[in-house]
Amino acid sequence: MKADVADLVEGVLRGERRAVARLISLVEDGGPELGGVMDRLYPHTGRAYTVGITGAPGAGKSTLTERLITRARSDGLVVGVLAVDPSSPFSGGALLGDRVRMQSHATDDGVFIRSMATRGHLGGLALATPEAVRVLDAAGSDVVIVETVGVGQAEVEVTDACDTTVVVLTPGFGDHVQAAKAGLLETADVFVLNKSDQQGARQALRELRQMLELGDGERKPDIVQTSATTGEGIDELWTAIGKHRAYQEEKGLLEQRRRRRIARELRAIVAERFRSRIDDTAGEVFDDLVARVQRRELDPYAAADALVDLLSEVPGDRR
């Protein structure tokens, strides 16, 4: 490992915010310098409880996050925040507003706020997100909040990486129906009906309750009404998150959930390894196999078997 990366890891372990920022940028870029980071970092992770906050653009996720930071800080907890934008190849930009909005925590050493987009990481956000969360974890966070924009598959992947998933809805027209379509009803551990100060809140709450009645999950997610701009309902949201955590811990579900997550991550890493090895080490063989399949000399499965055998012989590398 390069000396400067080793220094960065040491800085992260001391909770230095500059080091946290730089290491998360490295994760985002997915550069070769990352090699050897996780083996140093990983033993220092596993302490943080992770909370995913997702919902449609403008639903109030950042405003809620800001409030939750303040709430957590009042308990003396160290908080990490990762704002992930699956739709953008750039961090900054749209998320810059979030950083500005969270300026009130800018000088607080107990708060780390970073944003991340897809950029260079070959495994995409599904691999980059858990790595970035581990950086915040290793830096000493008790709680890591992951904010994701949108209500699609990529977001579900990101929030899957969390211990408690909070889905933010608004009284807006058909918002909750869209969430149902996107499969968010199944992924939500806690629902927030934000902007409860706005018209239609009561109607939306009723419809959401009805929708959840139809669900067959073992545990019905709590619904919390908030008005993030005034801070109303934030204590209730914090309590609901704590309740879900306690429920999972009592039933051994948290360990199960984390194990599933690790299994998924390992699969993704292996798949990504194989993909990149095709390009890096077996390009010619690959082209040749494609040609032979096209000439009907081999069927695609036989070709894939040959490729897997060949790729398995390549000595291990770290990305």
Site of interaction with Mg ion (CB under 5 A): 61-62, 98
* CA atoms within 13 Å, Cβ hemisphere of 138: 26
197 binds ligand GTP (CB under 6 A): yes
In angstroms, rounded to a whole number, what is the distance separating the alpha carbons of residues 249 and 50?
14
Do the Cβ atoms of 164 and 51 come closer than 8 Å? yes
Considering only residues 149 to 168 of the shown chain, the ones binding ligand GTP according to CB under 6 A are 149
Strands 190-193, 222-225: pairing is: parallel
For ligand GTP, the closer of residues 84 and 127 by Cβ is: 84
Query: Chain-centre distance of CA 228, in angstroms?
Result: 22
For ligand GTP, the closer of residues 153 and 256 by Cβ is: 153
By a kind-dependent CB cut-off of 5 to 8 A, residue 59 interacts, out of ligand GTP, Mg ion, none, with ligand GTP
Residue 192 C-beta: closest distance to ligand GTP, Å: 10
The DSSP call for residue 314 is S
233 binds ligand GTP (CB under 6 A): no
Provide the token pair at 71: 């709430």
Residue 94 C-beta: closest distance to ligand GTP, Å: 6
Query: Could you tell me which residues come within 8 angstroms of residue 250 by beta carbon, excluding any fewer than 6 positions away?
Result: none
Q: Which stretch binds ligand GTP (CB under 6 A): 26-34, 52-60, 132-140, 277-285?
A: 52-60
Among 194, 204, 225, 240, binds ligand GTP (CB under 6 A): 194
Among 57, 89, 183, 300, binds ligand GTP (CB under 6 A): 57
Write out the residues near ligand GTP by the rule CB under 6 A: 55, 57-63, 149, 194-195, 197-198, 227-229
